[in-house]
Amino acid sequence: MTDLFYDASPNATRIVQSNKAGREYPEKPDRVVLFGTCVVDLFFPEAGMDAIRLLEHQGIQVDFPQNQSCCGQPAWTSGYREQAESVARAQLALLDTGTPVVVPSGSCAGMIRHHYPGLFNHEPQTRDRALRVAENTFELTEFLLNVCRVRLQDRGRHRQVALHTSCTARREMQTHHHARGLLAQLSGVTRVDHDHESECCGFGGTFCVRMPDISGAMVADKTQSLSQSGADELISADCGCLLNINGAMNRQNLNLKGRHIASFLWERCQEGS
């Protein structure tokens, strides 16, 4: 099998690269830590494995600390600060290795990068650790696009896909731009727009449990928009949203299914896909 990717960047030897938002990106490392997220681990393990395959194909060794758990976002967004601190403290002990942390979820990556430091403002040493980890944390598509600087070679049949990014991933990690950048490299893939792409699917972690009627109305708007888009498939980088949207589409007997972008990218780059 020939290479899935090649690095055609004219600045490939540069130590640092900046994006439009001002974040500086390092040279591609030899090793990363994968923070798999609890939803990927429990409900979409194939997405985690495909994320590892994508990274390993870049020549990167992937470490997966076995004691990792939730990032703490459900507790944090529900107002349980002490519980969120406890969960975050345990993750920091695993992730503070000086190695880049790659997360196949924009919302969980956003929690680590943007909220961990503030959780520990009252503990200067822990806050310093949280800042180190935050600066070294990347969402998967961001890492592939801006750190690995991949160039995808598409080997699949033509498909029309719709993209969904979670609210947090979109606003905190700009994941929609990274996913669009990767999909645009696939010669056989057409990304179709739908008029609810930027809107919440209604999942929102514990929101869908506390406000089921509102959540159900929101996901109904989302699925209707997707079904009218002409897409063959839904692609997302956030598995919580996929659980909600896939469940709603299944109940409505819609002929559309969503999957994680890691699995979609890995499949597209296989011979005969």
CATH code of the domain in which 130 resides: 1.20.1050
| Residue-number span of the structural domain to which 227 is assigned | 159-268
Query: Cβ(125)–Cβ(88) under 8 Å?
Result: no
Shared-domain flag, residues 49 and 168: no
User: pLDDT for 60-96, tens place per residue?
Assistant: 999 999 999 999 999 998 999 999 999 999 999 999 9
Query: Cβ(56)–Cβ(49) under 8 Å?
Result: no
How many Å apart are CA 200 and CA 3, to the nearest integer? 37
The whole-number pLDDT of residue 271 equals 62
Shared-domain flag, residues 141 and 202: no
Reply yes or no on whether the pLDDT at 112 is more than 90.
yes
Reply yes or no on whether the pLDDT at 180 is more than 50.
yes
- b/e for 116-134, b at 16 or more Cβ within 10 A? bbebbeeeeebbebbebbb
The whole-number pLDDT of residue 273 equals 58
Mean pLDDT estimate for the chain: 89
What crossing angle do the helices spanning 124-135 and 81-95 adopt, rounded to 10°?
A: 60
Q: Tell me if 1 is assigned to some domain.
A: no
Query: Cβ(191)–Cβ(154) under 8 Å?
Result: no
> 137-139 and 31-34: which strand pairing?
unpaired
Instruction: Return the CA Rg of the chain.
Output: 18
Q: Name the domain count of the chain.
A: 2
Reply yes or no on whether the pLDDT at 205 is more than 70.
yes
The whole-number pLDDT of residue 194 equals 87
CATH code of the domain in which 263 resides: 3.40.50
Q: Which alpha helices (DSSP H) does the chain contain, by range?
A: 38-43, 45-57, 73-77, 81-95, 106-110, 116-119, 124-135, 140-142, 167-173, 175-183, 207-210, 212-227, 239-251, 261-268
The whole-number pLDDT of residue 80 equals 94
Percent of the chain scoring above 90 in pLDDT: 74
